[in-house]
Structures are given as C-alpha cells and as structure tokens.
Homo-oligomer: A and B are copies of this chain.
Amino acid sequence: MFEMKMPESGAKTNPVQEIMSLEQDAMEHWCKGDVEKYLEISADDVTYFDPGTAKRLDGIVELSRHYRCFAGQFHFDRFEFVNPKIEISADFAVLTYNLIAYEDAKAEHWNITNAYRKVQGSWKICHTHASPTQPKIING
C-alpha cells in the first residue's frame, strides 16, 4: 500500500505508520469541524495552499487564523484516504492521497499533499496543499 524509502539507520518505530496515524487522527477531528488537531501537528513555520487562499499562507499564526474562520461550520460523516503514498527519508516525508469526504448523499473529492518534517523528534506538517479534484472552473 505504501512505498517507503527508509533511511539506512533503522528506527524503532515505523515512521510510515506513525505519520498515517497522525493524519488519520487529525482528519477524524477535522470531519467533526474540529480544526485544532491539524494545527497541533503543524510546524511553527508551516506553509499552506488551498483554493481559498489568495497567496501561500506562511506560519502557524496565519494558518490558525484561516482554519479557525471555519471551525465548527462544517461536518463530514466519514472519509476515505484513496491510495495514500508516503515518500520518506530520515527527517522528511511527503504524504499524498485523494480524499473523499462524505456528508449524507454528497461527497467532496480533494487532492491532498502533506509534507512532514521531524521537529525535535516529532513529525510535524511543514507544508499542506489541498485542492479540489477536477473542479468545474469558470474561466476569466
């Protein structure tokens, strides 16, 4: 399921499982409208793109302000990480997947990239890029 490029020096914990567990847990909270878990696992110097940002957001203060604008204002019943893949080295990892988030009969489809970096021994998101999958865009 995952492609791994491990560092030569073996670690005691499995970093791929660790990152997937962080992401899964954060997304479970997100689906309840709780944005704080993603903020907790984001680095102080996190950078961020989504379709609503006029430019890249830089840093946890900008990201917190952005996320908290819509905290509690959305809800999903369940989600799927479709075909998650992690490329990983000793201190960097890039997790990508297609996200499907369901609410009643509706489903949202997203392209998700989360880059993680080891910060003082813990994996933290250093970059998020979220975009809708095949949106119907009005040109001009």
On A, residues with C-beta under 8 Å from B are: 3, 5, 45, 47, 49, 51-56, 58, 82-83, 85, 87, 89-92, 94, 96-98, 111, 113, 115, 117, 126-127, 129, 131-138
Contact = CB atoms under 8 A, between A and B. Distances in A.
Contact of A137 (B5, B47, B98, B137): B137
Contacts of A127: 87, 94, 96, 113
- Main SS of chain A's interface residues? strand
Nearest to A3: B45
A48 to B, nearest CB: 9
Nearest to A97: B56
A120 B118 CA distance: 23
